[in-house]
Structures are given as C-alpha cells and as structure tokens.
Amino acid sequence: MERFLEKPCDPKSFSPLTLAFIGDCVFELFVREKLVCDGNCPVHTLHQRSVKCVCCTAQAADCAVLVPLLTEEETAVMRRGRNSHTNHVPRNASVANYHAATGLECLFGYLYLQGKMDRLRILFQALVDAGSQS
C-alpha cells in the first residue's frame, strides 16, 4: 500500500487529532482488507466484524499489544495522540479507552503520512498474531 496522493506533507506538523483522523481510516482499511481476504461472506457480517475490531475498546487493547514493539519516536507519537484533548467521547466507551484508541489512530496516521507502509504492515500483523484482529 502506498499513499494515494503524492503531495508531500510533514506529519510532524499536524495535530494529534489530525493524525488520528487519517489514522482511523488507515487502520480500518487494514481491518477490512484482512476480513475480506479471510473469506467471502455477507457484507453485513463483514460490517459487524469490522465494527468489533475498530471500536475504541478493541483499539485500546491493541495499544497494549503494540507498546513493547514501538520505537521511541512511535511511542512519543502514540502518547501525543493519547494525551490530546477531545471534546467528544462516545457514550459506549470509557474516556481511558477512547484516549488509547486515539493514540493508536494517531500512530497509524503518522506512519501512513510518512510512507512507512512496511512498518504499518508489521504492526498490524503483530495484532493479527496476538489474536486481537480475528
């Protein structure tokens, strides 16, 4: 997977919530591709499975899996996302889980905008191997 647009940008210049905005999409694309490649099934089933994987409770658990694998720079990016102030928390999520999920999305957005697709694949595969993306 390469970036869709060639326009250069410096992810270090973006706010954590902007990185999480794009990272949310990148993470969901990984999840959806995995689900589709696992086998053909009804779209409704794919949607239900996808929602289970991308909800903030699941993403918060994913953070715990990834933390030991992250570089110092990646840890700092995730921490920036986790500590960012949001004005909205879904009613079915705890504040802690929502912040952790934002950190994960921030990391995925940062790596995507840097063009580090191989690193994204490694991190997502670690989640699959840990059983959190099944």
pLDDT(43) > 70 = yes
The residues, any chain, with a CB within 8 Å of residue 6's CB and separated by 6 or more, are none
pLDDT for position 119: 98
In terms of pTM, does the model score above 0.75?
Answer: yes
Q: Which two tokens stand for residue 98?
A: 């929502």
Q: Crossing angle, helix 95-114 and helix 16-38, to 10 degrees?
A: 80
- Give me the percent of the chain exceeding a pLDDT of 90: 79
Mean pLDDT of 50-72: 95
Q: Which two tokens stand for residue 63?
A: 């953070």
Band (pLDDT 50/70/90 cuts) for residue 2 is low
Active site residues: 24
pLDDT for position 1: 56
Per-domain boundaries in the chain: 15-129
pLDDT in tens, 80-113: 999 998 777 777 888 899 999 999 999 999 999 9
Calculate the average pLDDT of the chain: 92
pLDDT for position 87: 76
Taking only Cα atoms into account, the Rg of the chain, rounded to an integer number of angstroms, comes to: 14
Nearest-5° Cα angle at 117, 32 to 100: 65
pLDDT(3) > 80 = no
DSSP 10: -
Closest alpha carbon to 108 in 78, 83, 88? 78
Q: For domain 15-129, give the CATH number.
A: 1.10.1520.10
Q: Which two tokens stand for residue 102?
A: 């934002």
Nearest-5° Cα angle at 121, 116 to 124: 125
